């Protein structure tokens, strides 16, 4: 696509270069140079655009990477949930075992208390009977 110089620039060149043929050749050379520069700029634009896209792709996460990470995280969450469930169940078993030991200990304590109460009251009764016998004699 030929590039045309603005009218003012063309007139300025024609004023400086008095030979019309030479002026036309200079203007054509400048216009060709501008076209070549424009084509090179278009090529560079595509290259720069591709490089920028590549750099951004490296920086940004793709949908596939995001899905893979999401699946990995879901797996880790599921594993963690299973571990927590097992640990909670183990703690519940330990609580039940401790509760059972406490119940047994409380029953044993109650039985010991009742036994000692019986011994105490029996001793009190013997002492009371002894005192009564001593007083009634």
In the chain, domain spans: 1-60, 62-137
Check: CB of residue 41 under 8 Å from CB of residue 15.
no
Mean pLDDT calculated for residue range 77-103: 97
d(CA 40, CA 31): 14
Alpha carbons 63 and 71: distance in angstroms, whole number: 12
Which tens digits make up the pLDDT trace of 92-119?
Answer: 999 999 999 999 999 999 999 999 999 9
Asked if 2 and 31 count as a contact pair (C-beta separation under 8 A), the reply is yes
Q: What is the pTM of this model?
A: 0.44
Measured in degrees and rounded to the nearest 5, phi and psi for residue 12 equal: -65, -40
Task: For residues 123 and 131, give the distance between their C-alpha atoms in angstroms, rounded to a whole number.
Answer: 12
């Amino acid at each position: 696509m030929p590039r045309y110089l603005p009218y003012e620039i063309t007139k300025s060149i024609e004023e400086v270069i008095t030979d019309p043929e030479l002026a036309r050749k200079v203007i054509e050379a400048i216009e060709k140079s501008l076209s070549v520069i424009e084509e090179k700029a278009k090529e560079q634009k595509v290259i720069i655009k591709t490089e920028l896209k590549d750099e951004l792709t490296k920086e940004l996460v793709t949908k596939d990477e995001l899905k893979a990470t999401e699946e990995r995280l879901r797996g880790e969450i599921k594993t963690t949930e299973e571990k927590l469930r097992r640990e909670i169940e183990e703690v519940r078993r330990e609580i039940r075992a401790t509760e059972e030991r406490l119940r047994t200990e409380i029953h044993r304590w109650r039985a010991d208390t009742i036994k000692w109460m019986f011994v105490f009251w029996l001793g009190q009764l013997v002492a009371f009977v002894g005192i009564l016998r001593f007083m009634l004699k």
